[in-house]
Homo-oligomer: A and B are copies of this chain.
Amino acid sequence: MKAIVTIMLKDGVLDPQGKAIGHALSNLGFGQVGDVRAGKIIEITLTETDPAAAKAGVEDMAKTLLANTVIESFKVEIAG
Protein backbone atom coordinates (compact mmCIF):
# COMPACT_ATOMS: atom_id res chain seq x y z
CA MET A 1 0.00 0.00 0.00
CA LYS A 2 1.31 3.41 -0.97
CA ALA A 3 0.61 6.75 0.70
CA ILE A 4 1.19 10.11 -0.95
CA VAL A 5 1.70 13.11 1.34
CA THR A 6 1.43 16.53 -0.29
CA ILE A 7 2.85 19.39 1.76
CA MET A 8 2.28 23.03 0.80
CA LEU A 9 2.97 26.28 2.59
CA LYS A 10 -0.25 27.70 4.06
CA ASP A 11 -1.92 30.59 2.24
CA GLY A 12 -0.40 33.86 3.41
CA VAL A 13 3.00 32.35 4.18
CA LEU A 14 5.64 33.90 1.93
CA ASP A 15 6.96 31.38 -0.61
CA PRO A 16 10.31 32.64 -1.98
CA GLN A 17 10.94 29.43 -3.93
CA GLY A 18 7.59 29.79 -5.71
CA LYS A 19 8.29 33.48 -6.41
CA ALA A 20 11.71 32.61 -7.86
CA ILE A 21 10.17 29.96 -10.14
CA GLY A 22 7.50 32.46 -11.25
CA HIS A 23 10.12 35.10 -12.10
CA ALA A 24 12.27 32.56 -13.94
CA LEU A 25 9.28 31.42 -16.02
CA SER A 26 8.42 35.05 -16.89
CA ASN A 27 12.04 35.71 -17.88
CA LEU A 28 11.94 32.66 -20.15
CA GLY A 29 8.95 34.18 -21.98
CA PHE A 30 6.09 32.25 -20.36
CA GLY A 31 3.82 35.29 -20.11
CA GLN A 32 0.68 33.52 -18.92
CA VAL A 33 2.10 32.74 -15.46
CA GLY A 34 0.51 34.25 -12.35
CA ASP A 35 1.14 33.10 -8.79
CA VAL A 36 3.43 30.09 -8.26
CA ARG A 37 3.59 28.01 -5.06
CA ALA A 38 6.17 25.30 -4.43
CA GLY A 39 5.63 22.32 -2.16
CA LYS A 40 6.83 18.82 -1.38
CA ILE A 41 5.47 15.41 -2.16
CA ILE A 42 6.47 12.30 -0.24
CA GLU A 43 5.55 8.78 -1.41
CA ILE A 44 5.66 6.20 1.36
CA THR A 45 5.36 2.46 0.78
CA LEU A 46 3.62 0.83 3.74
CA THR A 47 3.29 -2.74 4.96
CA GLU A 48 -0.11 -1.83 6.49
CA THR A 49 -2.99 -3.31 4.42
CA ASP A 50 -6.01 -1.49 5.90
CA PRO A 51 -6.53 1.86 4.07
CA ALA A 52 -8.08 3.64 7.09
CA ALA A 53 -5.30 2.54 9.45
CA ALA A 54 -2.69 3.43 6.81
CA LYS A 55 -4.16 6.93 6.41
CA ALA A 56 -4.25 7.48 10.19
CA GLY A 57 -0.65 6.26 10.52
CA VAL A 58 0.62 8.51 7.74
CA GLU A 59 -1.27 11.53 9.14
CA ASP A 60 0.54 10.88 12.41
CA MET A 61 3.87 10.75 10.51
CA ALA A 62 3.06 14.02 8.75
CA LYS A 63 2.23 15.80 12.02
CA THR A 64 5.28 14.37 13.80
CA LEU A 65 7.98 14.73 11.17
CA LEU A 66 7.05 15.47 7.58
CA ALA A 67 5.22 18.80 7.83
CA ASN A 68 5.79 21.88 9.92
CA THR A 69 2.13 22.45 10.79
CA VAL A 70 2.79 26.02 11.94
CA ILE A 71 3.42 27.15 8.36
CA GLU A 72 2.55 24.12 6.22
CA SER A 73 -0.64 22.20 5.48
CA PHE A 74 -0.60 18.59 4.34
CA LYS A 75 -2.90 16.14 2.57
CA VAL A 76 -2.65 12.34 2.72
CA GLU A 77 -3.89 10.14 -0.13
CA ILE A 78 -3.83 6.35 -0.02
CA ALA A 79 -3.15 4.84 -3.45
CA GLY A 80 -3.70 1.12 -3.86
Contacts and interface: CB of A to CB of B under 8 A. Distances in A.
Interface string A30-54: 1011111111111111111000001
Nearest to A24: B65
A46 B34 contact: yes
Interface residues of A, number: 33
B8 A61 contact: no
A25 B48 CA distance: 15
Interface of A: 6, 8, 18, 21-22, 24-25, 28, 30, 32-48, 54, 57, 60-61, 64-66
A61 B25 contact: yes
B28 A65 contact: yes
Contacts of A34: 44-47
